[in-house]
Structure 1
Amino acid sequence: MLIQFSVKNYRSIKDEAELQMITDSGKELLDSNTFQPDAKGASNFGLMKSAVVYGANAAGKSNIINALSKMQWLVLNSATKLQSGEALDIEPFKFSVDSINEPTEFNMDFISEGIRYQYGFSANNERVLEEWLFAYPNGRAQTWFMREYDKESEQYSWTKDSYLSGAKSTWKEATRDNALFLSTAIQLNSKQLVPIYHWLTRKLKIIRTHELNDIQTAQKIMSNSKIKKDVLTFLKAGDLGIEDIKVNKSKIGSPNLIPKSVEQSSIDLSDKFSEMLKSVVPAINNELYQMGHITIHTGHRLEDGSFQYLDLKEESDGTQRMFAFAAPLVESLQDGAVVFIDELNNSLHPTMVKFLVSLFNSADSNANNAQLVFTTHETSILSQDVFRRDQIWFCEKNKAQSTTLYSLSDFKVRKGADNIERNYLSGKYGALPFIDKSNLGDLHG
Structure 2
Amino acid sequence: MLHSYTFSNFQSFLEETRVDLTVTRKVADSDWISSRPTGERVSKVMAVLGANGAGKTALLKPAAFLGWFISQSFQNPIGSGIPVAPHFAASNEPSAFSCVVDSADGHLWRYELLCTRQRVLREALYRKEKRFDHLFIREWDEKRKNYRIRQRDFGLSDNMIENVRPDVSLISWAAQYGVPLALRIARPELPWVTTNVTGVGRIKSSDDWLYVAARHYFEHPQHKDSMNRLLSSWDLGLEGVEIRQMNFPNPQNPEQQQTVLLPVGKHRSHGKLYDLPFALESSGTQGAFIHLMRVLITLEHGGIAVIDEFESDLHPHMLEPLLGLFANPDINPHNAQLLFTCHAAEVLNILHKSQVMLVEKDEDCESRAIRMDKVEGIRNDDNFYAKYMAGAYGAVPRI
Is residue 147 of structure 2 the alignment partner of residue 147 of structure 1? no
Amino acid in structure 1 at the alignment position of 2:141: D
Percent of aligned pairs sharing the same letter: 24
Q: Which amino acid aligns with 2:173?
A: T
- Match of residue 88 from structure 1: 82
Aligned counterparts, 1:319-398, within 5 A: 319-383=285-349, 386-398=350-362
Matched, 1:318 2:284: yes
Distance 1:221 1:148 in 2: 43
User: What is aligned with 1:59?
Assistant: 54
From 198, 201, 210, give the equivalent of 2:187.
Answer: 198
Aligned-partner residue type, residue 413 of structure 1: I
**Which amino acid letter does the alignment assign opposite residue 75 of structure 1?**
I
- Give SS of 1:31's match: coil
For 1:262-289, what per-residue CA distance to the aligned partner results, in whole angstroms no more than 9, with x for missing partners? xxxxxxxxxxxxxxxxxxxxxxx7xxx4
The reply on whether 1:122 has 2:119 as its aligned counterpart is no
Q: Which residue identity does 1:251 align to in structure 2?
A: N
User: Secondary structure of the residue that 2:63 maps to in structure 1?
Assistant: helix
Give matches, 1:289-300, under 5 Å. 289-290=257-258, 292-300=259-267
Question: Which position in structure 2 is the counterpart of 1:413?
Answer: 378
2:155 aligns to what?
165
Where 1:234 maps in the other structure, the secondary structure is: helix
SS in 1 for 2:222: helix
Question: Aligned-pair distance for 1:390?
Answer: 0.7
| Aligned counterpart for 1:105 among listed residues 93, 96, 111 | 96
Structure number having the greater strand percentage: 2
Report the Cα offset of residue 413 of structure 1: 3.5
Q: What is the TM-score with the length of structure 2 in the denominator?
A: 0.89
Structure 2 unaligned residues grouped into runs of 5+? 197-201
Count of aligned pairs between the two proteins:
390
Q: How does 1:133-282 map to 2 (within 5 A)?
A: 133-136=125-128, 138=129, 140-159=131-150, 161-167=151-157, 169-198=158-187, 202-207=191-196, 208=202, 210-211=204-205, 213-253=209-249, 257-258=253-254
* Partner Cα distance (1:223, 1:106) in 2: 36
Distance 2:188 2:327 in 1: 22
What CA distance in whole angstroms lies between the structure 2 residues aligned with 1:229 and 1:56? Answer: 37
Which consecutive residues of structure 1, in runs of 5 or more, have no partner in the other structure?
Answer: 260-284, 436-445
Change (3 A) 1:4 1:239: same
Report deviation, 1:202: 0.8
SS in structure 2 of the partner of residue 381 of structure 1: helix
Q: What's the TM-score once normalised by structure 1's chain length?
A: 0.80
User: What is the distance in 2 between the residues matched to 1:427 and 1:256?
Assistant: 56
Give distance in 1, aligned partners of 2:334 and 2:130: 22
